[in-house]
Structure formats: structure tokens, C-alpha cells
A and B are shown apart, each in its own frame.
Chain A
Amino acid sequence: MGSYILKRLVSAIPVLLGITVIVFLIMAMIPGDPATAILGSYATPENVEKLNRDLGLDKPLVVRYFIWLGNMLTGDFGRSFSLNRPVLDEILERFNATLILAGTAFVICSVLGILAGVISAAKQYGFADKAITFVVLIGISVPSFFLGMMMILLFAVNLRWLPVSGMYAIYGGGDLPDLAKHLVMPAFALAVVATGVIARLSRSAMLEVLRQDFIRTARAKGVGERKVLYGHALRAAMVSIIPVLGIQAGFVLSGSVFIEIVFQWPGVGRMLVDAILKRDLLLVQGGVVFVAACYVFFNICVDVAQSLLDPRIKT
């Protein structure tokens, strides 16, 4: 197992390197430059040129890439000019917020999705199945940002049950209940689509598995129905559900961009959008590499979980 994990980690290196190249090239292709962004209305060609020189952007692309890569490998992600602080500090801080949001949403969508899918499969064609199918369909058909906007309107502005935005109350906050209150709406809005996708998949995976011979074997042994469903069938269905969880984790991470904007969540998604708009090259590059590394790492975890669950996978 250890060597398997190591192997997977090593194989992630070229992927991450490729990502650094892609993000670097894309950022280089984007018109507009940081100097213009910094100078705002006062960006005369002369000022821009001087500032670009100060920022080291006058060097050739390849040189800049290797300087950046080299610095990054030593842990120096550079300094964000739009925030005037080290990129790494900002990313770590923001990443924390995103992990809380996306992590909660991921837990919600995994638990609710699988639960809904299993119930739906267990009560196939029953009322619960139809109700779940319907709700899930609505869930995957609503743009998350629209849902978020509507939630703010209803729960925060009209009913005043929950705070509108942010991660902690500005005063008196900072504790867990406070975080939970702020987290409810964004996490739910973020989880809705993924919950729907996972529920649909879990349902069909369960139905697929329930038709397998080994389920009949379990029943022939006299195993109770509950254990057949939640032991034998669910465990086998997880083999096809887990990879989808991995993919959905990526979507949740990406989708957090919209949610972070709508709910003013201080996360990395919003930071990256701002950074792209401000042409904050180092921040975008560092942030994307971080997010991608997180995604790759998570996928390795998924594969490891998969291999732990399914002994047939050669490790």
C-alpha cells in the first residue's frame, strides 16, 4: 500500500508540472498587464513600462517561468502586488476558508447524496423514490448562484434567520456556532448540484448491485434486508460511487467560485477570480497550482480509498 501511494504521488508530479506550464501560458496570453491594473486610471504607457520593469515582467517568458518555478520549489511563491503580501500567506489563509466551505459542502453532498440514492433505490418506484428523484432533478437544474441569491433574499433579508454573508460575525464571532450559522447557506447552495448528481448515481449503482448474484446469495443465507441493503449492496455500490465522489469534489471546488462571490466567502475561488481580473500573475499561478495540487492529492486519496475498499484492484 505504501509503495502504491508513493507511486501515485510520483506520477502526480508531471501532471502538476504540466499545470504550472498551462497556467503560466494562459496568464501570459491574457491581454492587459499588472502594471495597468496597479496604476488604474493613471496607467500611461510610460508609467506602465517602468512599473513592469520594477516587477520583473520585462524578461523573456521562458526565463520568467523558470524563475517562478525555481522560487516556488523553494517555497517562495512570490509577492502578490494586488494584495501587497506574500502569495503563500494569502493562499493559505484563503485556502483554509475554501476548505471549510467546500469540505462542508462535500460532506453534505456525499452523505445526503448517497443516503438519498440508497433510500431511493431501496424504495424504488415508491413515494420516497419519486419525491427524491424530483427534488434531485430540481437540484441539478438550478444555477447555484441563482439559488444562493434566492436563499439570501429569503433567509437573510426577509426572515433574518441567517447572516447574509461572510464567514464570521464581525463582532462577537469566531466561535463554532458563529461559523456554522455563516456556513449553512453557502455550503448548502454549493452542495445542491453535487448532491443531485451523487444521488442519481448512487441510486443506479445500488440498483445495479442489487441485481447481482451475490445479493441473492446473501439473501439465500438468510441475511436481513437491512444488512443486505446497507452492508452488502452499499459496499459493492461504493466501488462505483467513490470515483464519482472524486469528480464531484472537483466540481464542488470549482463551483465554490460562484458561491464565494455571492456569499462573500473569503475563499480561494473568489481570490483567483479577482486575481485574474487584476492580472495578479503570481497570485493566479500560485493559487491555481495550489488548487490543482489539492485536486490531484484528493484524487490520489480517492484511488487509495478505492483500493482499500476493493481488494481486486492491484496496488
Chain B
Amino acid sequence: MSLISLTRRSLFAAAASTALVAGLGFSPAPLAAQTPPGVLIVGQIAEPKSLDPAAVTAQNDFRIVVNMYEGLVRYAPGTLEVEPLLAESWEVSDDGTEYTFMLKEGVTFHDGTPFNAEAVKFNFDRMLNEDHPFHNTGPFPLAFFFSAVQSTDVVDDLTVKFTLNEPYAPFLSNLAYPTGLLVSPAAVEANGADFGRNPVGTGPFKFAEWRSNEAVVVEKNPDYHGDMAGTEAVVFRPITDANTRVAEMLSGGIDVMVEVPPTALSEFQGDGYQVVEQAGPHVWFLILNAKEGPFADKLVRQAANYAINKEALVNEVLEGTAEVAAGPTPPAFAWAYNDELDPYPYDPDKAKELLAEAGAEGAELTFYVTEGGSGMLDPIPMGTAIQADLNAVGFDVKIETYEWNTFLGEVNPGLEGKADMAEMAWMTNDPDTLPFLALRTEAFPDQGGFNSGYYSNPEVDELLSKARVATDQDERAALYKEMQAIVQEDAPWVFVANWKQNAVTTDRVENFNLEPSFLLLLEDVVKN
């Protein structure tokens, strides 16, 4: 707080003198929109919903919370591999149902309370036990990440044990996800439902203030147990409008901008800016309704994959901010990715041939398009271009656009009776998540899954079930690779793009990196 008031005061003095010179304070010379050194200003895409890591679901909110909180484990920088953080080490029982973590000693929360096994237990019980006294500080929408957890037990002050009801391979990876970040029990007890506005964690930055719709400010945690943060403070500014965000970046109002609109990238090619890119576990696809209509025929589904010019989409519509996707698993999961698969080539003639073979020329298709949404990139231009490509080979596509929440409300319960295809994108932390939730027979919408296109292949079902309980990574990798080959051939989706997350910084920002996990870790960043 002291830093901010100091900076505020000195700048206030400067502003006041300018105001004296220039009347109301509009200096006729260009505004010196220089942000102060040591303070990093990040242009976010939206106001955070909450700063309680257990309550948030959006990447936008994750970007803030990962800098204030820490979990037992984290993704090692630059990878999606899990490494220790607040836990120094862990042991997994042979049957894969017991995880015991040895915690780091001497860690305290920002409010001074100690981090210990009790705190870990509190966190998971709060999320998972409906009768926990602070369960009502939720809702905790992603609690099902840990639905395999049967109990959390304190072994001793620095040892905690999770008991799972069945082996669950993604467990460690889920612990590294922001939902697994640990909050201060004392702060939850003190603030109750308002904890999300008064966050307390153990991370390199601690919460300073939240001015609604203006900024969330975090400042360096002087008592941090690891390496000190490189900046004094970070300000997260919510700027929902992409265009305004670009304008702010160009006029010097922010230092870092995430999710740069592809059309604006060319503005930042010159000196003074650096563009950072990082591929991550993201896949953008079209769900095809395999239950009814033209896409019930595999040939027609393959035809759609051939008909769409994915190169043009990623290189032109998305200005090279994505790569063409080959299958359901993004290459960012390097260990599980089948790199022998090539994407469906753009081949309209082949598509026409397949359509003729299937007798589906001139098929009328209803195409659900969203206006925006997490990971959806530029859904309307992409949808429009896809529509044009499909029409070019003889489909007759009609677009219906929906705002994101309505869109999910329409798509998640299944496309049956409504549409033939829908846009969708997922960002996941484990190769298991997406196929398990969206490609299995048991994941049909009426069974609580996201298989909105009703793809069903018993072989795939079996491969996925096996991979989930396998504890050996090589074994899992082999299973996933086999699954990808089958799914690509079956074409339940049109595989379109894997997004390369991007960000722009000014040249005053150093050590700025994007993570494959899409999380924005700012502790090493330096601002001159």
C-alpha cells in the first residue's frame, strides 16, 4: 500500500503542476502516458469475477490468482510437467489411490498465519464437503476436478494425505491447476463470502486493492518464501473491449496486453513492442452431429474436414496466431501427442467426391456460432469463413449466432434436433480431460458429459478408460496416441486450430514469458 500511495502522491504533484500550467490539466503536448517503473500494468480482458481460486473458472481470473496463491504443485516453467511447489515431495501408493504430500516448512500466508497440513485440509474440505462450515463461500464450479478425492487427512503438521476412491491419473495435474491453489483458512473465516474480494495466499504477490472495473492491484510480498518478485506491483486493468485494449497499448496506458486481436498484431511489429507467443493445450474444433442428418455419415464428416481451408483460417483470419490442428489432442501435450498424424489437407475436390459418394450434395446444415467466449478466438469471422468454404463444396450452411452463455446453454445439452454443427474450443491441463469429457459414449449430454455430437466408438471408450487409471506415463501416452489416430479417421469433429496464446509488451518489460498452461506467471518479470 505504501508504494502506491507514494507513487500516487508524487504523480499527483506532477499532475497538479501540469494542471496549473494547462488550466484544466489538458496538456497540449501529447500526454506522457508513461507508466511508472517497477509497476507492471496488465491489460486484462475482463473484470475478474472473484479472487478466490476455488470459485473462478476463467483464464482471465486465473491470470491474477496464480500470482497471489500457490498450490501444492505447479507446472514447471515452459512445460506442462508437474513439479513441487508448496509440497516438497510426494508419494503415490501402488494402487494409485493414496497421495501423500510433504509440505515445505516455514511458509506463511500473507496474513501471517502459517501454511500447514491443516490449511491444506481446510481448502479441500471447503470445496468438497457440503457440510463444511465454509462450503457456503462457494459455489465451487470446478470442484469436480477433485471429485475422486474421498478424504483429505492431516498426517502431521507438514504432511497431508489424499485418499481417492479410484486411481485417477490426472490428479497431480489437476492439483497444479488454479483450482488447486491454496487460500488462507484464517482469511476465509474472517471474510466469509467476501473472501473473493479480500484474497490471501502464499504467492510472490499479495493483494493490495481492487477498484471495481478499474483495477486489481497486487504488490510484492516481502516475506515470500521463494525468490522475490521482480516488480514492486502489478496492476490488472479490465478492458473488455479488444479495440480499446489495443488503443491503450498503443497510447502507453498499459505495459502488457494479453489476447491481442489478430488484426491488431501488425500494429506491434515495430520497435518499442515485443510480441510473445506460446502454444498451449488448446484445440478449436467444430462439433459435428453424428447422430442425425448428413453428418451421421462418416464420409460427410470427412468431407467437411477436407472442405475447410484451415491454413487460410489460421494464417489469414487469425493472422498466424494459431496452428492447424490435426486431431483432438493439442501438440502442447508433447508426451501424449501423436506426431505421426497429419492434418486433413484442404482439398475441395476430394470433399466434393466424398459428398457425391455419400449422396449428400446440397445438404442443408445449421451451424451454431458464438460471439465470443473463452478460447473461441475470432468465432464469427472464423464461422463465416467456414460457412463460405462449406458452401463452396456444395453444402448449404445457415449460421445462428449466440452470445456465449446462451450458446453453451444450446450446445452442451446436445445438438440433436437443433443443429448439425457448432463451434467449440477447450483449454485443458491434461490430455485426459477433453476426450474423456467430450468423445466417450458415456459422455453423451444426457449422461452429464459434453459429447454434444454423440460420437460413439467403443474402441475409443476403452482406450480412454484405460488411460485414466494407468499410472505410468508411457503407457498412458501410447493409449492416447492410438485414440487420436482413430478419432481423426472417424472425424467426429472438424479439427481446426491450436491456438498460440499471444501477448504484447512494451520494450520496458523484461523476462516476460507465456506458459503452455496459459497461466500468466509474473514473478520474474522486470519493468524498467
Among listed A12-20, A163-171, A217-225, interface-contacting one: A163-171
B1-42: contact bitstring with A at CB < 8 Å (1 yes, 0 no)? 000000110111011101100001110101101011001010
Q: Is A203 an interface residue (CB 8 A)?
A: no
Kindly identify which residue among B239, B404, B409 contacts A31, using a CB–CB cutoff of 8 Å: B409
With the chains together, A79 CA to B243 CA distance in Å?
31
Inter-subunit contact A277/B31 (CB<8 Å): no
Contacts of A124-182 to chain B: CB distance below 8 A: 149, 152-153, 156-157, 159-175, 177-178, 180-181
Inter-subunit contact B412/A43 (CB<8 Å): yes
Tally A residues with Cβ within 8 Å of B: 66
Inter-subunit contact A47/B52 (CB<8 Å): no
* With A42-B57, A175-B12, A264-B240 as contacts: A163 and B25 at CB distance below 8 Å: no
Kindly identify which residue among A54, A90, A177 contacts B25, using a CB–CB cutoff of 8 Å: A177
Q: Is B58 an interface residue (CB 8 A)?
A: yes
Q: Is B127 an interface residue (CB 8 A)?
A: no
* With A84-B55, A261-B240, A266-B214 as contacts: A44 and B450 at CB distance below 8 Å: yes
Contacts of A20-43 to chain B: CB distance below 8 A: 31-33, 36-43
With the chains together, A84 CA to B41 CA distance in Å?
24
Inter-subunit contact A175/B16 (CB<8 Å): yes
With the chains together, A152 CA to B177 CA distance in Å?
38
Rounded to whole Å, the gap between the CB of B63 and the closest CB of chain A is 15
Inter-subunit contact B144/A277 (CB<8 Å): no
Which range holds the interface residue count of chain B? 35 or more
B217-249: contact bitstring with A at CB < 8 Å (1 yes, 0 no)? 000000000000000000101111101100110
Chain A neighbourhood of B214, CB < 8 A: 166-168, 170, 266
Q: Is A278 an interface residue (CB 8 A)?
A: yes
With the chains together, A153 CA to B243 CA distance in Å?
10
Q: Is A45 an interface residue (CB 8 A)?
A: yes
With the chains together, A261 CA to B450 CA distance in Å?
33
Q: Which residue of B lies closest to A152 (CB)?
A: B247
Inter-subunit contact A177/B49 (CB<8 Å): no
Chain B neighbourhood of A263, CB < 8 A: 244
* With A172-B11, A172-B15 as contacts: A262 and B244 at CB distance below 8 Å: yes
Inter-subunit contact B14/A172 (CB<8 Å): yes
With the chains together, A295 CA to B240 CA distance in Å?
27
Inter-subunit contact A164/B25 (CB<8 Å): no
Q: Is A213 an interface residue (CB 8 A)?
A: no
With the chains together, A167 CA to B49 CA distance in Å?
20
Q: Is B338 an interface residue (CB 8 A)?
A: no
Rounded to whole Å, the gap between the CB of A145 and the closest CB of chain B is 10
With the chains together, A31 CA to B197 CA distance in Å?
30
Q: Is A83 an interface residue (CB 8 A)?
A: yes
Kindly identify which residue among A40, A51, A79, A94 contacts B58, using a CB–CB cutoff of 8 Å: A40
Inter-subunit contact A161/B31 (CB<8 Å): yes
Inter-subunit contact A264/B244 (CB<8 Å): yes
With the chains together, A279 CA to B402 CA distance in Å?
14
Q: Is A309 an interface residue (CB 8 A)?
A: no
With the chains together, A173 CA to B31 CA distance in Å?
13
Rounded to whole Å, the gap between the CB of B10 and the closest CB of chain A is 7
Inter-subunit contact B251/A157 (CB<8 Å): yes
Rounded to whole Å, the gap between the CB of B379 and the closest CB of chain A is 14
With the chains together, A43 CA to B452 CA distance in Å?
12
Contacts of B427-481 to chain A: CB distance below 8 A: 445-446, 448-450
Q: Is A93 an interface residue (CB 8 A)?
A: yes
Query: Which of B8, B193, B212, B251 counts the most A-chain CB atoms under 10 A from its CB?
Result: B251
* With A38-B139, A171-B7, A172-B7 as contacts: A79 and B193 at CB distance below 8 Å: yes
Inter-subunit contact B35/A170 (CB<8 Å): yes
Inter-subunit contact B237/A84 (CB<8 Å): no
Inter-subunit contact A165/B405 (CB<8 Å): no
Q: Is B426 an interface residue (CB 8 A)?
A: yes
With the chains together, A37 CA to B253 CA distance in Å?
31
Query: Which of A36, A167, A171, A262 counts the most B-chain CB atoms under 10 A from its CB?
Result: A171
Q: Is B47 an interface residue (CB 8 A)?
A: yes
Kindly identify which residue among A40, A45, A157 contacts B57, using a CB–CB cutoff of 8 Å: A40
* With A44-B450, A261-B240 as contacts: A184 and B50 at CB distance below 8 Å: no
Q: Is B156 an interface residue (CB 8 A)?
A: no
Rounded to whole Å, the gap between the CB of A78 and the closest CB of chain B is 12
Inter-subunit contact A41/B253 (CB<8 Å): no
Inter-subunit contact B213/A161 (CB<8 Å): no
Q: Which residue of B lies closest to A89 (CB)?
A: B212
Q: Is A240 an interface residue (CB 8 A)?
A: no
Rounded to whole Å, the gap between the CB of B283 and the closest CB of chain A is 12
Inter-subunit contact B450/A82 (CB<8 Å): no
Q: Is B107 an interface residue (CB 8 A)?
A: no
With the chains together, A54 CA to B446 CA distance in Å?
21
Chain A neighbourhood of B11, CB < 8 A: 169, 171-173
With the chains together, A167 CA to B215 CA distance in Å?
11
Inter-subunit contact A175/B15 (CB<8 Å): yes
With the chains together, A63 CA to B138 CA distance in Å?
24
Inter-subunit contact B212/A40 (CB<8 Å): no
Inter-subunit contact B31/A160 (CB<8 Å): yes
Chain B neighbourhood of A216, CB < 8 A: none
* With A170-B35, A172-B8, A174-B8 as contacts: A164 and B406 at CB distance below 8 Å: no
With the chains together, A172 CA to B244 CA distance in Å?
21
Q: Is B408 an interface residue (CB 8 A)?
A: yes
Q: Is B194 an interface residue (CB 8 A)?
A: yes
Q: Is B91 an interface residue (CB 8 A)?
A: no
Kindly identify which residue among B8, B19, B52, B57 contacts A171, using a CB–CB cutoff of 8 Å: B8
Inter-subunit contact B139/A159 (CB<8 Å): no
With the chains together, A180 CA to B31 CA distance in Å?
14
What 10 A-B pairs come out closest when comparing CB atoms? A172-B11, A177-B25, A266-B213, A160-B30, A84-B50, A32-B409, A37-B405, A177-B19, A32-B406, A84-B196
* Listed A/B pairs (25) with beta-carbon separation below 8 Å: A32-B408, A37-B405, A42-B142, A43-B408, A47-B144, A54-B138, A84-B50, A84-B196, A84-B197, A90-B212, A94-B213, A152-B247, A160-B31, A163-B31, A166-B237, A171-B41, A174-B8, A177-B18, A180-B26, A181-B31, A263-B244, A264-B239, A264-B240, A266-B212, A266-B213
Contacts A39-B141, A84-B49 known; 11 new A-B pairs at CB < 8 A: A32-B409, A45-B412, A47-B141, A55-B139, A85-B196, A163-B33, A164-B253, A165-B239, A171-B36, A172-B8, A264-B241
Show the binding face of B for A, using Cβ within 8 Å: 7-8, 10-12, 14-16, 18-19, 24-26, 28, 30-31, 33, 35-36, 39, 41, 47, 49-50, 52, 55, 57-58, 138-139, 141-142, 144, 193-194, 196-197, 212-215, 235, 237-241, 243-244, 247-248, 250-253, 374, 403-406, 408-409, 412-413, 426, 445-446, 448-450
Show the binding face of A for B, using Cβ within 8 Å: 31-33, 36-47, 51, 54-55, 79, 81-85, 90, 93-94, 97, 149, 152-153, 156-157, 159-175, 177-178, 180-181, 184, 261-264, 266, 270-271, 274, 277-279
